[in-house]
Amino acid sequence: MASVSIPACTTALLLDIEGTTTPITFDILFPYIRDHLEDHLSAHWEEDECKQDVHLLKKQMEEDMRQNRACPVHTVDQTVHTDEEKAIREVVENVMWQMAADRKSTALKQLQGHMWRAAYTSGRIKGEIYPDVVPSIKMWRERGLKVYIYSSGSVEAQKLLFGHSVEGDVLDLFDGHFDTTIGAKVDSKSYERIAERIDSQPEEITFLTDVSRANRPHGESLCQTVLTRGFVVAEAKAAEEAGLNVLLVVRPGNMELTDEESAHYNLITSFSQLQLTGRA
């Protein structure tokens, strides 16, 4: 395995989760949402947290409609009798649609985090982490580097995943967490804000991520992707624009890179390939 050097001025590593520290298939977490969504909404509909989640989802739907983004047309099924059942069906429909399109809206991610909480704390699910991740982070920290997470998953969901991982509670490996409340991962301003928040210059940060452009669900045209997501620029490009050093992480199941991207970015298949040149 070839090693890849990071600039000697690097003081911090910023890590994506899905496709970078954790398998992209997420074959436990996302199916859990699909299987339990309706029951979760029915059980917690009158509680403040659930009301806030639904409020945020409704604001997102309104924004999507204002932006002329494709969204589900409500086709409430005939078995639905009460206003509450109808409202729940509409939320379910919208959430399923957002998940099918792999939307990264703060509203969706907040609801998912709240739903996963009970499953993690009861031990029903555990956060997946690739085996090279924990030893590498420990080594980077021993060499004086700070390590942060920046994921579309909410900070609460991030902490649940690393706090209840297959390797136990590894939360103390991280110096901080960022999610889309600081800005979208495809917006270069988000990376500038993170640099400011961690008191670093952008060029002192190395960002490890899997996504170089918008994920396009299988069979969807580029035009559909632009309509449903409202962007085609990706997080690697946005981070680069902000002045960060970017490494693309190639893991099983990640989106295939174009020849141009493979030539442009430094690629790693394991964190253990990172070489900390010029550091004590």
Ligand X SMILES: CSCCC(=O)C(=O)COP(=O)(O)O
Instruction: Report the distance separating Cα 118 and Cα 39, nearest Å.
Output: 13
Which of these segments, 132-140, 150-158, 217-225, 246-254, binds ligand X (CB under 6 A)? 150-158
152 contact choice in ligand X, Mg ion, none (CB below 5 to 8 Å, kind-dependent): ligand X
Instruction: Report the distance separating Cα 179 and Cα 25, nearest Å.
Output: 20
Which of these segments, 5-13, 16-24, 69-77, 133-141, binds ligand X (CB under 6 A)? 16-24
Q: Should residue 151 be labelled a site residue for ligand X when binding is judged by CB under 6 A?
A: yes
- Tell which residue, 99, 104, 63, 57, has the closest CA to residue 235: 104
Q: Should residue 190 be labelled a site residue for ligand X when binding is judged by CB under 6 A?
A: no
Q: Should residue 61 be labelled a site residue for ligand X when binding is judged by CB under 6 A?
A: no
Instruction: Report the distance separating Cα 87 and Cα 79, nearest Å.
Output: 13
The only residue of 18, 102, 179, 240 in contact with Mg ion, by rule CB under 5 A: 18
Alpha-helix runs per DSSP H in 67-132 = 83-100, 106-121
Give whichever of 16 and 128 is closer to Mg ion, judged by the CB atom.
Answer: 16
Q: Should residue 192 be labelled a site residue for Mg ion when binding is judged by CB under 5 A?
A: no
Which of these segments, 5-13, 69-77, 118-126, 151-159, binds ligand X (CB under 6 A)? 151-159
Q: How far is the CB of 21 from Mg ion (least distance, A)?
A: 9
Contact 164, 126 (CB under 8 A): yes
Output the CA torsion sign for 210, 216, 222, 226.
negative
168 torsion bin: left (phi>0), alpha (psi -120 to 50), beta (else): left
Q: Should residue 213 be labelled a site residue for ligand X when binding is judged by CB under 6 A?
A: no
Instruction: Report the distance separating Cα 207 and Cα 74, nearest Å.
Output: 40
The only residue of 91, 153, 237, 254 in contact with ligand X, by rule CB under 6 A: 153
Q: Should residue 128 be labelled a site residue for Mg ion when binding is judged by CB under 5 A?
A: no
Structure tokens at 60: 């997102």
Structure tokens at 108: 């969706």
Instruction: State the DSSP string of 173-193.
Output: G-SEEE-GGG--TT-HHHHHH
Q: How far is the CB of 17 from Mg ion (least distance, A)?
A: 6
Q: Should residue 16 be labelled a site residue for Mg ion when binding is judged by CB under 5 A?
A: yes
Residues that bind ligand X (CB under 6 A): 16-19, 104, 109, 112, 151-153, 157-158, 161, 185
Annotated binding site for Mg(2+): 16, 18, 210
Annotated binding site: 16, 18, 151-152, 185, 210
